[in-house]
Structure 1
Amino acid sequence: MPTVKPKKKVREGDTFQVVGVLRDAKTNEFLPFVNLAVLDSVDNEFVKGGVSNMDGVFEIYGVPQGAFVLRVSAIGYESYSLPFNVTNNTNLGTLRLNPGVTSLGEVTVSAERPLYAMEGEKLIYNVSEDPSIQTGTTEDALQNAPGVEVDVEGNITLRGVSSVEIWVNDKPSKLTEENLKTYLQTLPANAIARIETITNPSAKYATDAEAVINIVTSAHIKSNQFISFGVNGSNQPFVSPWVSYMWKKEKLSVNLFASGRYSNRLNTTDSWELKRENAATEGLYDSVWYKTTSQKEDNRSISGNVFMNIDYEIDSTSDISFDGGGFYNNNRNNGSRREVQTFYLQPVDSILAYSMGDTTVSQSGFGHFGADYTKKFDDKGHNLRIGLNGRFNRNASDYYNNRFYDVYTDFDENRYLLSNQKGYGINLDARYNRPYSEDGELSYGLRVDNQLDNSDYKRFYSKDGGITYDSIDVLRTYHFNGNETGVNGDVNWTHRWGGFTLSTGMGIGGDRIGYNYQSDMPFADDSTLYFFNVRPSIHLTYRTESMHNWKLNYSMRMSHPGEDQISTFRRYGDDSYSTGNPFGLKNAYTHNVEAGWQKFFERFGNIGLEAYGRWSTNEISRLTDAEYDDYLDRIVSYSMPYNMGTSWRYGTSLNMTYRPTGFFNVRLYANLYDYGYRMEYDRNGVHQIDQRDKWSWSVRVNAWAKLFNQLQVTASANYNSPTISLMSERKARYFLNMGMRSDFFNRRLSVFVNVQDIFNWGARIGSGSSNTNPYYLSDSTRKMLNSRYISAGFTLRFGKLELEQRAKEGDSETGDSLE
């Protein structure tokens, strides 16, 4: 029986401990891991929560004086409510729950969850439990997920790996790269329940990516309605208004969410490129060509998105949901550039210098719709889920470019590029889960996906100084049609022995890729390819009574090249081109192994350690080089994919949360790893071998505190050391942010102020990368001139505030919910 601290003299504002024991009313057995919630007796507003331990004992801290109701929820038991009063530390004694069937219409209550948790192959970041990120965007929330990094361009890596697939509510997002960046920058973090990072995906994910990030939006509520809206802005500048509405009655619920954003960013880039060839003396090189570039950009963007979700409960065993939405982005980029090219080893060295100006006006849109049907055959996990989802996207841009030479003025150019990309897709997902006992289940999945792409690229140049553009640039004009169909199936087996859980899976699939590049140039290409893949996986976890969590995972991923890596069609830029490998690329194989430990403490927080390794063969990556091009009649850079040979990445990571009180926490994530590769390829008929490895590390610290029961203060610091990839190196990146937030009028109004990049490192130091190919060296540094900025915003709320976190976009099969 738990003990309660001796009574003390009560002062206003004191909080107390509520304890007790849970038992089965028939067997008298202790009931472990049962959710409990302390609710206000007047309006049922959530106050505190807890979970019973292995001995059925629960201890709930921080309960103020007053009248409350203890609500207890356990699967297979009738719901239990107990009114009680708190004037001091309180012992509720032994509470006995009666076995019974829990219907979907009854109330289940979620207790407070740790910020980070381990669940099989997933490492979970509970965004809804993190007060320090609620005023940010989904992109900001991703920065706090263990191992995730988002650079200034919005590119996402997970533990240094860029091959990451983004899922939303347990389904692949299928967003294009730029559309995905817009989505993450406009969706508020307080619309997110949690972010799941899967660094070693099992067969059921049916993905070619090396890692998966699943963003689960906040779930729905039982009844009533709630509306909130707000405006965020900064002196960067950017401004982002948003509104959220939730309505539910009986079996029908509707979620609506809409937001907009205007932003303006100023960037500078300084870079150089150098082409070399072997000299007469072995091991030395002669310089052939050198180019320097200085560039400024002014980027302005207006975007908005809207989402809707409708849920309908057909009966107590089945429900159906419909979702739809999309976003629109209008972007204008004005740039100016100065380039100087030097050509060596000619009769005399020659210099070509010119200035460039360009304007790009682009519009992009993405829409999606879907329907999901779930049938539950019993309350033990026997169910079927079928989903049908469609999507479409359009990206159109007008690009004006001029080039003025210092000496050779006859070569002055005025160009116009018109691009129009369209994509359509539809996919069918089905998953059948069938428990064969209380300790095990089998899961069967099927996914059929089809994607159509239709793109036009038309480039014109002017003969009258940019007044009219009526002469077509045949080299850079083409039309593309793509058709990709994939069919993937998987079988997964899970069994539990006490604290052990073993999951094994096997996925098998096939892909058909058809493409057609239409062009008047001789390198037009048309082909259809077929690929087969298998994905075995095994995951073992162990959980002790004292909340130690252990895991050991292995998976093998087999991936095939994409059409842009295979096709010999050349996609030309101003002074470069990219193409596929005409000599054939092999399938790549990646083996992943992980071992981890996570420990949760009642008062301290949590600490976790992971060791991981990845070994890849035939890995496909692009190599950048330079050569004389017959069509451009000068030396240009080009990129081509190769099976680079072998690469490896092994390291260890630490994540820790220190939470001595409910009003202060510090989070630390650190990662140390070695990445290396050995590449063999032929260059100009000569066999080349390049091998390199480098140790890299990163550390991120976040702190949150609540002062005077009113003011919340946050701080975050991040450092990423230089890292390498195939013949390239990325420079170090770091920042320090701080912010404050306060709530007024019973949380009807919230106001926040944040300062990003306090020391303005993004403008003074910037970020960049360098190419280390001995025949083609390059280096670039990119700086955001308005990297340091102040942002502020407010939120107004109407409705029952305890329902706020559920009044967001969508729901998912695994989402948190108050049914």
Structure 2
Amino acid sequence: MSSFKNISLSILFIIAFASQGLSQSKSIFISGTVVENETGQPLEFATFVLQDIDNPENITGGITDLNGKFKVEISQGRYKSRIEYISFKTLELPVQTFDSSVNLGKLKLSPNVEQLESVELVAERTSVEVRLDKKIYNVGKDLTNSGATISDALDNIPSVTVDVDGAINLRGNGNVRILINGRPSALAGFGSTDALQQLPADAIEKVEVITSPSARYDAEGTAGILNIVLKKEKTRGFNGTINTVIGYPDRFNFTPNLNFRTDNYNFFTTLGYSYSTPPGNGFFDNTYSEGSFDRITEDRDIDRKNSGFNANVGLEYFLTDQSSLTASVFGRLNDGEDLTQNNTVRFVGNDIDSRTLRQELQAEDEASYQLSLNYINNFNDEGHKLAVDAQYSFDEEIKPITITEENTFPNTETVGAENILETEVQNEFLIQADYVLPIGDAQFEAGYRGNFEETDTNFNLEELNLETGNFESNTGLSNQFIFNQNVQALYTQYGDKFGKFSFLAGLRLENTQLKGQVLGADVETLQNLLGDDIELDFDKNYLNLFPTLNLTYELKENENITLGYNRRINRPRGWFINPFPSRSSRTNIFQGNPDLDPSFADAFDVGYLKRWENLTLTSSVYYQRETNSFERIQEETGEVTSDGIVIIRSLPINLSTNKRIGAELGLLYNPTKWWRINTSFNFFEFNTEGVFRGTDFGAKNTSWFSRFGSKVSLPGRIDWQTNLFYRGPTQNAQTRTEGIFTLNLAFSKDIMKDKGTISLNVRDLLNSRRRINSTETPFFSSESEFQWRERQINFSFVYRINQKKKRREENRERDDEEEGYSK
């Protein structure tokens, strides 16, 4: 820990003596850039220290910014200087006479293998980095992520929640944009979260939570952006990890993460095979004010079986010392099978009229591919660079579905049967260019992004004719729906720093084309279902400006205030627009709305950060006003089933406004070397106003969610982690959702001389992660409960290849003795 103490003392000297000035008369500036020797990556928060030779008590210096740059004002004279950074060798510079301003150029630091213990301790403490426009969370240190999925890992990130259906929310808002390595990706499922619920969390290096995105980012997502950064080791030589997981209910994962780097290229790959059988369940109790039945209950059991293989393989070739070309291929194959059994009981008054069993067997074969090419050229060491990306993505899902429904009381007759074949093919092209030009201490950026996406969905429905016993095509609902979303954007932004004040201002121009066409269907049947006021075919263009502004004021070296403003757009995804109704239930259906328009939001964010020696506090207050916001409402379709049940539809619509105000607080606390606490609290209020078809769907509601995480190093070199999460109840115009509590536990121990780690974790220990809803409308009321996945227990083994865990045995034993542990 000697390096950490030296750095702390250096910073204290800077604070203590900077105000005294130096003995020389004329002020000059010393600047430079600090980078890692092997990778050339800039090192943020490195310390540059200058000591006056003639007056050694005069010490000054500075801290590098996010680009590794520093600039220090001194008086003319002779100085001894050095660069310090935790876990890196201190770079001592020769004594120099400075009589005019000078740029020292690129200063390269090398890792210090004698301080690897410090690396681990610091990594535990600094699991969050705060930047001008985002927060960065290192998920690799979370034990509960061992054997987990990407969705599980996101659910452990402050400000983020993942509900029981897998839907991702940021600060309680579901309009969040998911990026992989800063770009749309087949890995994120093109707007769907299904893939994120299947792929391993071991592939993630970090998650960037961007609640006030700058103009560089796509304007999509009114809540903000979650950028998932995948692992790509930059250490020279061959290295990597192999993670094997077994679990109950049945789960098996095998994930090698391998890397080989030389002077000329860097080869990286993450492979993964997974198999799981996560069971789920649901219960619905509906009471009707009209129709043939007064009450209907549905009891659903869901048995799933998923197996899949994914691979992310890439090669980075270093053309020169300043430029490189990276090519990568991502592929995912998934084979799934879900069996849903729905036991339905119908009541007239308090008497049972009939019982039916509806079985839905859905297979899913999915293939996703993505080809990416990236070129980057660093023209100089000052940050002048050009980056160009090209990407092609292909995704195909084939879903054969068989549905049968039979009476179980008072007879055993067949009620109906359906054969469905649904095929979805999606192609996406992306081209992007980003240019950065430093202008003194300022920085200018400009760029272009074009994203062209087409989704072709074929839906074929055959229904059993009970009289003939043959299956007949339903021409009214069999269809083909083609949806295009094309977005082109130009952006520019400018940032600068004046003393303790920094700003980044930008403007983004985006043109969005949304185009949909229904083919091969009985248009009249669909039109009657949706209503005459909704057009089935559409071709819409939206040209909009999106300004952004981020400000930071440094109260002290370890304390600052931030202010952010940005304008965002939420474009409706394909399943929200597809007009063909779902078939999982005869009486409760979901139907897309092709008349949906994008919603727009203006968001403001004020943040405060304070760091102490063992405590980091982050907080913010935010406000958002969204127009044309999406809301899912429930209404009667005017249709009834063959046995007289009123069919109820869930339909997404544009409401007029949605105002949201909230506050969040996060604490990272290390009371001792063996105990780390991470907790966060988020409170928000939303107010929705809007009328649809004469019904007022306005609502006002407050809710909150909170996390508490504790990691303890026990005797015997065992780590114990506990994560608790609670989301408070929420309510809109029709539905109240009860609060949800989840408890996760994990234990780990290093073995094989720190080359291996075994872990045991339990997700949802109390089996309490389920959604409980109460819905009231003029025509029916409903009580429901749904659990997507039951309690999961995982045992994992991680083996490190040339990546021995960064601690030394003698240091660990010394720490144990200091803390009073006995072997």
Name the TM tier (shorter chain): 0.7 to 0.9
Q: Aligned ranges for residues 175-186 of structure 1 at < 5 Å?
A: 175-176=188-189, 180-183=193-196, 185-186=198-199
- Aligned to 1:623, what secondary structure does the other structure show? strand
Paired letter, 1:650:
I
Query: How far apart, CA to CA, are the structure 1 residues paired with 2:543 and 2:398?
Result: 34
Residue 246 of structure 1 pairs with residue 259 of structure 2:
yes
- Does the alignment pair 1:538 with 2:542? no
Any conservation in 2 of the 1:361–1:397 contact (CA below 8 Å)? yes
Distance change (3 Å), C-alpha of 1:747 and 1:793: same
Work out whether residues 397 and 423 of structure 2, in 8 Å CA contact, stay in contact via their aligned partners in 1: yes
Q: d(CA) in 2 for partners of 1:299 and 1:718? A: 26
Counterpart CA distance in 2 for 1:74 and 1:50 is 5
Q: What is the rounded CA distance, in whole Å, between the counterparts of 1:196 and 1:800 in structure 2?
A: 25
| Contact 1:30–1:56 (CA under 8 A) maintained in structure 2 | no
Residue 213 of structure 1 deviates from its aligned partner by 0.3
- Report what 2:332 is aligned to: 327
Distance 1:296 1:33 in 2: 63
1:634 offset after TM fit, Å? 5.2
Q: Relative to structure 1, is the Cα distance of residues 312 and 784 closer, same or farther in structure 2, using a 3 angstrom cutoff?
A: closer
Q: Indicate the SS of the match to 2:781.
A: strand
What is the match of residue 565 of structure 2?
A: 554
Corresponding residue for residue 707 of structure 1: 714
Which secondary structure state, in structure 1, belongs to the residue aligned with residue 151 of structure 2? helix
CA distance in 2, matches of 1:413, 1:714: 51
User: Where in structure 1 are there 5+ consecutive unaligned residues?
Assistant: 1-12, 58-72, 83-90, 278-285, 805-819
Gaps of 5+ in 2: 52-66, 72-79, 85-89, 113-117, 527-535, 808-823
Counterpart code for 2:472: S
By how many angstroms is 1:622 displaced?
A: 2.5
Corresponding residue SS for 2:219: coil
Residue 206 of structure 1 aligns to a residue in which SS? coil
Which amino acid is the alignment partner of residue 337 of structure 1? N
2:674 aligned with 1:674: no
Q: Is the CA contact 1:513–1:529 (under 8 Å) kept in the aligned structure 2?
A: yes
User: 1:739/1:456 Cα in 2 relative to 1: closer, same or farther (>3 Å)?
Assistant: same
- Please give the alpha-carbon distance, in whole angstroms, between the structure 2 residues aligned to 1:379 and 1:50: 15
Match of 1:117 among 122, 129, 132: 129
Matches within 5 A, 1:282-431: 290-341=295-346, 351=353, 353-405=355-407, 406-407=409-410, 412-431=415-434
In structure 2, relative to structure 1, the CA distance for the partners of 1:74 and 1:212 (3 Å cut) is closer
| Worse-matched range after superposition: 769-778 or 389-398 | 769-778
Residue identity in the other structure for 2:506 = G
Structure 2-normalised TM-score?
Answer: 0.80
Task: Show CA shifts across 1:242-270 (max 9, x none).
Answer: 21221111111101111111111222211
1:105 CA displacement: 8.6
- TM-score, normalised relative to structure 1: 0.81
Q: Determine helix, strand or coil for the equivalent of 1:139.
A: helix
**Greater mean alpha carbon deviation, residues 364-373 or residues 493-502:** 493-502
Amino acid in the other structure paired with 1:296: D
Which residue of 2 is the match for residue 622 of structure 1?
632
Match of 1:236 in 2: 249
Deviation at 1:389, TM superposition (A): 0.4
Partner in structure 2 of residue 612 of structure 1: 622
Matched AA of 1:216:
V
**Inter-partner Cα distance in structure 2 for 1:769 and 1:254:** 49
Give the counterpart letter for 1:435 in structure 2.
P
Compute the displacement of 1:512 (Å): 2.0
- Determine if contact 1:275/1:287 at 8 Å carries over to the other structure: no
Q: In the alignment, is the contact (CA less than 8 A) between 2:215 and 2:506 conserved in 1?
A: yes
Q: Secondary structure at 1:141's aligned position in 2?
A: helix
CA contact (8 A) 2:324 2:377 kept: yes
Partner of 1:754: 761
Correspondence for 2:599 among 588, 593, 597: 588
**Number of residue pairs aligned between Structure 1 and Structure 2:** 738
Secondary structure of 1:419's match?
Answer: strand
1:186 match: secondary structure: coil
Amino acid at match of 1:521: D
Query: Take 1:172 and 1:725, find their aligned partners in 2: how far apart are those partners?
Result: 31
Secondary structure of the 2:523 match is coil
- The residue aligned with 1:497 is 498
Contact 1:79–1:102 (Cα < 8 Å) also in 2: no
What is the CA–CA distance in structure 2 between the aligned matches of 1:132 and 1:705, rounded to whole Å? 13
Change (3 A) 1:429 1:34: closer
- Give the distance between the partners of 2:768 and 2:575, measured in 1 at CA: 36
Displacement after TM superposition at 1:654 (Å): 0.8
Cα separation, partners in 2 of 1:463 and 1:776, compared to 1, 3 Å = closer
Following TM superposition, by how much is the alpha carbon of 1:783 offset from its aligned partner in structure 2, in angstroms? 3.7
Q: Structure 1 residue 141 and structure 2 residue 153: aligned? A: yes
Between the aligned partners of 1:153 and 1:529, the Cα distance in structure 2 is: 31
> Are residues 1:777 and 2:781 paired?
yes
Query: Which secondary structure state, in structure 2, belongs to the residue aligned with residue 330 of structure 1?
Result: strand
Cα deviation 1:366-395 (Å, max 9, x = unaligned) = 111100001122211211111000101111
Q: Deviations over 1:292-342 (max 9, x none)?
A: 211111111112211111101100221110111121211111221122345
Q: 1:744 to 1:491 in 2, by over 3 A?
A: same
Q: 1:434 aligns with which of 424, 434, 437?
A: 437
Closer/same/farther in 2, CA of residues 443 and 132 from structure 1, 3 Å limit: same
Mean CA deviation greater in 753-762 or 730-739? 753-762
Q: Distance in 1 between matches of 2:431 and 2:473?
A: 42
Q: Is the 8 A contact 2:301 2:340 kept in 1?
A: yes
Residue 808 (structure 2) pairs with residue 801 (structure 1)? no
Alpha-carbon shift at residue 291 of structure 1 (Å): 2.5
Deviation, structure 1 residue 464: 8.0
Which residue pairs with 1:816 in the alignment? none
> What percent of counterpart residues are identical?
18
Give matches, 1:48-197, under 5 Å.
107=110, 112=122, 114-128=126-140, 133=145, 136-173=148-185, 175-176=188-189, 180-183=193-196, 185-189=198-202, 191-197=203-209
Structure 2 CA distance for aligned equivalents of residues 568 and 790 of structure 1: 40
Q: Could you tell me how far apart the structure 2 residues matched to 1:404 and 1:317 are?
A: 69
1:598 maps to a residue whose letter is: L
Partner of 1:262: 275
- Cα distance per residue 1:635-656 (max 9 Å; x no partner): 2112333332222221211100
Partners of 1:96 and 1:368 lie apart in 2 by 53
C-alpha separation between the residues in 2 aligned to 1:270 and 1:572?
17
Shift of 1:550: 1.2
Residue type at the aligned position of 1:492:
Q
Counterpart of 2:753 in 1: which secondary structure? Answer: coil
The one-letter amino acid of 2:435's match is Y
Counterpart amino acid of residue 152 in structure 2:
D
Correspondence 1:740 to 2:740: no
**Cα-to-partner distance string for 1:330-368 (whole Å, 9 max, x where unaligned):** 111122112234579xxx999554221221111112111
Q: Which residue of structure 2 lines up, in the alignment, with residue 281 of structure 1?
A: none
Query: 1:7 maps to which residue?
Result: none
Q: Distance in 1 between matches of 2:451 and 2:81?
A: 42
Separation in structure 2 between the aligned mates of residue 137 and residue 617 of structure 1, nearest angstrom: 34
Q: Is the Cα contact below 8 Å between 1:289 and 1:635 reproduced in 2?
A: no
The 2-side partners of 1:323 and 1:737 are apart by: 35
Q: Which moved more, 1:122-131 or 1:540-549?
A: 122-131
SS, match of residue 537 in structure 2: strand
Deviation of 1:136 (Å)? 4.3
Give how far 1:719 is off: 0.8
Q: Which has the higher contact order (CA 8 A, sep 6+)?
A: 1
Cα deviation digits, residues 554-613 of structure 1 (max 9, x gap): 12224455666667665666334554558x556533121111101122x31201111111
Aligned residue identity for 1:245: L
